[in-house]
Structure 1
């Protein structure tokens, strides 16, 4: 017989921060084998210019559920901004003047961009000038 149990912990904005799956296998009158596996990944987030100032650091590592979208990560980051002078998202889309790259590729639609373990996410302000 086999029993599966999955436990989770939830962070702000509905982003899953930790998930573990436990499996128990046993035979009648036999030994019980219990195993577990982590269902999370770690991504590195770096902040450029005004976002680094608002976050109070230039980079951080974030643990997310394996199926997390870029939008989920951005919602989590938006909730951590230290001051209200920087806007990362508006109505579920990137705020005007904000650029996000995943592994050096510009991300156009955060909701449809799925992250993977070890990804590098860069959050930047668009640069303009004359």
Structure 2
């Protein structure tokens, strides 16, 4: 996480993640903006900012930022994971599964991504069984 950032910005990136997890979205946005001021093309930060905006009901902006983040860092499991979270929040399970598979290709030992992917596959299978 926070790949190729200097220590100060890497700590800010950790703050974005923590702020997202604790639902302190404004704090997370502030930290993301601080990183993006110095590193405007940092894919993982753009993706996390998008995920945060998604939680603030700014979906259009969220998708734009996450896609831009992914475009800037296609080899980041964080960017793919965030894209999967975005799709999952919109109940686009097939697209989310594709994103999680890409994240897992990049980081095959990541248990959290594996867990999220397995749960989504179960949910997707249940939906296919119960909804004709």
Do they fold alike, i.e. is TM over 0.5? no
Q: Which protein is richer in strand relative to its size?
A: 1
Please report the TM-score for the alignment, with normalisation by the length of structure 2. Answer: 0.28
Q: Which protein is richer in helix relative to its size?
A: 2
- Between 1 and 2, higher relative CO (CA 8 Å, sep ≥ 6) is seen in 1
Please report the TM-score for the alignment, with normalisation by the length of structure 1. Answer: 0.28
Which is higher, the Rg of structure 1 or of structure 2? 1
